[in-house]
Amino acid sequence: MSSSEQKYNDTIVKGFLISGLVWGVASMLVGVWIAFQMVYPELNFGPYFTFGRLRPLHTNAAIFGFALSIIFATAYHTVQRLCRVRIWSDKLSNLHLFLYNLTIIAAAITLPLGLNQSKEYAELEWPLDLMVVIWFVIFLINYFATIFTREEKQLYAAIWFYIASWVTIPILFIVNNLSIPVSWIKSYSVYSGVYDANIQWWYGHNAVAFVLTTPFLGLMYYYLPKHIKQPIYSHRLSIIHFWSLIFLYIWAGPHHLLYSPLPDWLQTTGMVFSIMLWMPSWGGMLNGFLTLTQAKEKIKTDATLKMLLVGLTFYGMSTFEGPLLSIRAVSGLGHNTDWIIGHVHGGTLGWVGMMSFAVIYYLVPRLWNTNLFSERLANTHFWVATLGILLYIVSMWVSGISEGSMWRAIDETGALKFPNWVQITETLKPYRLFRGIGGGLYLIGLLIMIYNVVRTIQNSGSGFKEIDLRIGSKEEKVV
């Protein structure tokens, strides 16, 4: 056993990585299934396997099963190395892993049964909400205790992005899920009407911000420089990126409620803050790109680097498209259409998915002390996944803009040109078919990666050793 393995607890990192792979397959398999249900309705098997039951299962497994597993794995891995201490409590970390997976399993059972709160990204009923709070508190105690007992005085930017997530997620989750239980399997929100909608989308948008954005920026700031063995382009820019993003993001939620009974001033506030988000988001993207230029000669052959590059590209695209869709005139065309589906999946498949894959390819050989089984398979995964993403989002862009235009189209008398909703749905079927094919390709890419990872673990012990270089910046001395 190496000195690095003795000093740090990497068993918990392995546990969350494996959880991420399991829930990744489950979520994407369900995602492909429900994509084809939109084209072939006969794939709806009632009552438990209809679109309405499976869609929340897909989103919860993808966000809180796959993505959050990768977040916790990287959080445990990075905090130990950046603080130069072992995780504060091995027992708490193991309890966290157990309760976390128990919650996801319970969600996978209850959601197809129709037991949910009917709130986007917050469907779980109150007993599971309480379980989430318990294991998140356990994690918070362990994480912050590790920081407080650190040997490294300076906190690198990656830690700040993780901390922002850990501080904000409990506030969002608890406030949005305040409810009155009426039985063990049913509760009702304490909010109603427009208040409920406002709280829900304050939570919903910031779940994207502080689950699918800030922790992945944290891992980008750590693993990108580590992989290319070069410092981050600008440490100062990373700090500016952090504080401006944190301040602006939390106010952008009302852009989900344009043209609703929400007060106009609050709708405008959400729109303005969303537009301002372009600046910090692209500042972070440019910091990543300029860091990548230090290793551009490796991009042709290094699959992990390609995934980091595509992930950053989709981060930039999604953070341009999101503010664009928050503008009232554009939202009037795109809201509730397939365009929004394309936008969401550009961020999740492109940014979150590709960054997660890159981290897995980086960590698995180092955690199991071996070399990656096949770089060729990793490159195949990259190209299959990238093609899948492009098929998915382009088909949804075309479908969504067509859908919105057909809804708004009027004839010379001022009547709706397409009053029959089924007629519009039939027009969209070819695009939705391509969406399903794109999702299927993305799932195939994941299965290729899992085969590669399994073979890599089987070959463990071949003598590969990680050199744990400290991350610095151009303003810092690299030790």
Residue 179's SS3 state is strand
Contact 58, 469 (CB under 8 A): no
Burial class for 1, CB neighbours closer than 10 Å (0-12, 13-18, 19+): exposed
Q: Please state, in angstroms and rounded to a whole number, the distance separating the CA atoms of residues 393 and 329.
A: 21
- 420 belongs to a structural domain: yes
CB proximity list for 373: less than 8 A, separation 6 or greater: 452, 453, 455, 456, 458, 459
Task: Enter the DSSP assignment of 255.
Answer: G
- In angstroms, the CA 24 to CA 272 distance is 35
The answer to whether residue 475 is domain-embedded is no
CATH number of domain containing 328 = 1.20.210.10
Q: Rounded to whole angstroms, how far apart are CA atoms 231 and 221?
A: 10
Residues in a beta bridge with 180:
188
Provide the number of structural domains found in the chain.
1
pLDDT tens-place values along the chain, 479 residues long = 445 556 899 999 999 999 999 999 999 999 999 999 999 999 999 899 999 999 999 999 999 999 999 999 999 999 999 999 999 999 999 999 999 999 999 999 999 999 999 999 999 999 999 999 999 999 999 999 999 999 999 999 999 999 999 999 999 999 999 999 999 999 999 999 999 999 999 999 999 999 999 999 999 999 999 999 999 999 999 999 999 999 999 999 999 999 999 999 999 999 999 999 999 999 999 999 999 999 989 998 999 999 999 999 999 999 999 999 999 999 999 999 999 999 999 999 999 999 999 999 999 999 999 999 999 999 999 999 999 999 999 999 999 999 999 999 999 999 999 999 999 999 999 999 999 999 999 999 999 999 999 999 999 864 444 434 333 333 333 32
Binding residues for Cu cation: 205, 255-256
The three-state secondary structure class of 49 is: strand
Give the DSSP per-residue string, 421-472.
Answer: HHHHHHHHHHHHHHHHHHHHHHHHHHHHHHHHHHHHHHT--S------PPP-
With respect to residue 4, please indicate whether it lies within any of the assigned structural domains.
no
Q: What is the pLDDT of residue 461?
A: 60
Residues placed in the known binding site for heme b: 58, 343, 345
With beta carbons less than 8 A apart as the criterion, state whether 258 and 197 touch.
no
Alpha carbon 194 to its chain centroid, in Å, reads: 27
Longest alpha-carbon distance in the chain:
79
Inter-residue contact 37 to 44 (CB < 8 Å): yes
Containing structural domain, residue 349: 10-459
> Does residue 478 belong to any structural domain of this protein?
no
Return the structure tokens found at 341: 């589906």
What is this structure's pTM?
0.94
Residue whose pair of structure tokens reads 């939202």 in the numeric block: 331
Burial of 299 (0-12, 13-18, 19+ CB in 10 A): middle
Q: Which helix (H) or strand (E) holds 107?
A: helix 90-110
Binding positions are: 58, 205, 255-256, 343, 345
Q: Tally helices (H) and strands (E) across the chain.
A: 18, 2
Let me know if residue 468 belongs to a domain.
Answer: no
What is the C-alpha separation between 82 and 450, in angstroms, rounded? 28
